Structure 1
Amino acid sequence: MAGLSPSLPLQRDTIDGYRLTKTFQQMISQNLRHLILTSPGERIMIPEFGVGLRRFLFEMNNETTYDDIASAIHQQAEKYMPFIEIEQVLFTPSDHLAGDENTISIRIEYRIIPLGAQDVINITSSLKEANL
């Protein structure tokens, strides 16, 4: 079966050569995840692209930081993925997560307007993962 785009991170697949996204919903989920994890200035030719979730790991773990992250997610999705609507951004405080206090876990509920579909992505990021 043909795929729409490479599934990241790249992994070998016996059927397609490399694992591919097979549906528009999978591709949109992957693109949203990368929009959130990409730091501004990281993408060539589009320096304002990305939420830069990891940079918030150095901020205070409080409602103000959560509001800043949610606002950045809404703004970036509106600009670069106008075909989705972010419905809810939920945070799990680091004191409820196993591991160090510099961890953030986010659940993003969104709607894919042209498909009439709803989806959820969960992203957990920590200083350990970022190798900082």
Structure 2
Amino acid sequence: MTAPLHAIRYPFAIDAGAGALAEESDYETYIRQLIRQVLLTAQGERINRPDFGAGIRKLVFAPASPTTASLSQTLVYQALSNWLANLIRVEQVSVAAIEERIQINVAYTVVAQGERRFLNVEVTL
């Protein structure tokens, strides 16, 4: 299985030279952008997809505790498995809630390439 030929850049942009949608030429960058998009989008934020996203930002206001970390871990795993299942296979998610930030570590396999990758995201206000 090969990587798609056209991947729209996130955040959405227009290529000034071509006057068309900017495309992301690096497939790995494209996948990382999609993961961040799922993690940082609040449910209800998208009109046509009200269930899209993990809604992690709202947990920044929750107490920094193992319970918050566990809930975040579940939300991240479910959202990524639901919305990006055709592109990645989520291997492991670990979350740490520290004061006003949430540290998310995701281990995943890119389906098209069969390669294992890691992404670390820190969510703060």
Q: TM-score band (shorter)?
A: 0.7 to 0.9
TM-score with structure 1 length normalisation? 0.75
2:103 aligns to what? Answer: 105
Whole-angstrom distance in 2 between the partners of 1:114 and 1:65? 33
The one-letter code of the counterpart of 2:92 is Q
Q: 2:68 aligns with which of 60, 65, 68?
A: 65
Post-superposition offset of 1:43 = 0.9
Partner Cα distance (2:63, 2:31) in 1? 30
C-alpha deviation, 1:9, in angstroms: 6.7
Higher RCO structure, 1 or 2 (CA under 8 Å, sep 6+)? 2
In the other structure, the counterpart of 1:86 is 90
Write the mapping of 1:1-132 to structure 2, written as runs, cut at 5 A: 4-8=7-11, 10=13, 20-83=23-86, 84-94=88-98, 101-127=99-125
Give structure 1 stretches of 5+ with no counterpart: 95-100, 128-132
Cα 1:28–1:60 change in 2 (3 A) is same
| TM-score, with length taken from structure 2 | 0.79
Structure 2: gaps spanning 5 or more residues: none
- Distance change in 2, residues 1:93/1:71 (3 Å): closer
- Provide the identity percentage: 26
State the SS of the aligned residue for 1:76. helix
The alpha-carbon deviation at position 24 of structure 1 amounts to 2.5
Count of residue pairs brought into register by the alignment: 119
RMSD, aligned α-carbons: 2.4
Shift of 1:55: 0.4
Q: Distance in 1 between matches of 2:16 and 2:108?
A: 32
Question: SS in structure 2 opposite 1:60?
Answer: coil
Gap change, CA 1:78 and 1:3, over 3 Å in 2 = closer
The structural deviation recorded for 1:6 is 1.7
